[in-house]
Chains A and B, each alone.
Chain A
């Protein structure tokens, strides 16, 4: 089976940097995604990592260590609009490829 863990909630200050961690256990790992979900809206894609290392995309970066079953999402220069849930999702080969989501981390950005 698969197991994905991430903190339930985090709070950070506007303009600061925040790191949201995700750990996972899975067989047949084939990639890790981060999605953003604002309240009352559908999730939207942020990043995808399949190899170890850091992927940078503007204010958002995502890191993956496959040997440690660990990823983080780094948000820089936080803005109020970054207040949302951040979902870690793992793609695994299990009778075909399947992506399973973690419960999400709710980020509150305060002024």
Chain B
């Protein structure tokens, strides 16, 4: 079956612009995670959606970051007024509630000039 997909694969933007990153999880997976990974660094947790529960936003670095998940499926991560330090690979993962083994998408490489 199809895995987790993310779009765009690469995004170059100018400082101050808004960007939207999309994640399409594996069908039937109720949990969805967003992470950020800078070059050579580990995964930085951003936000977690589980079913219809309120999302865990504890990892969002500032109020410029927000995410939503419509209909319990596709998720969009929005970064407003981008800064150069936002440059990173943004990874999305989904899992079933039973195992929580996370399946990752290929990521979106964001470059803020």
Contacts and interface: CB of A to CB of B under 8 A. Distances in A.
**Is chain A's binding surface mostly helix, strand, loop or mixed?**
strand
Given A43-B43, A45-B101, A91-B100, 9 more contacts: A45-B103, A95-B56, A96-B50, A96-B53, A97-B97, A99-B100, A100-B45, A101-B43, A103-B41
Interface stretch (B64-72, B75-83, B104-112): B104-112
A100 B91 CA distance: 14
Contacts of B41: 103
Interface of B: 31, 33, 35, 41-43, 45, 48, 50, 53, 56, 91, 95, 97, 99-107
A44 B104 contact: yes
Contact size range, A: 20 to 34
Interface of A: 31, 33, 35, 41-45, 48, 87, 89, 91, 94-104
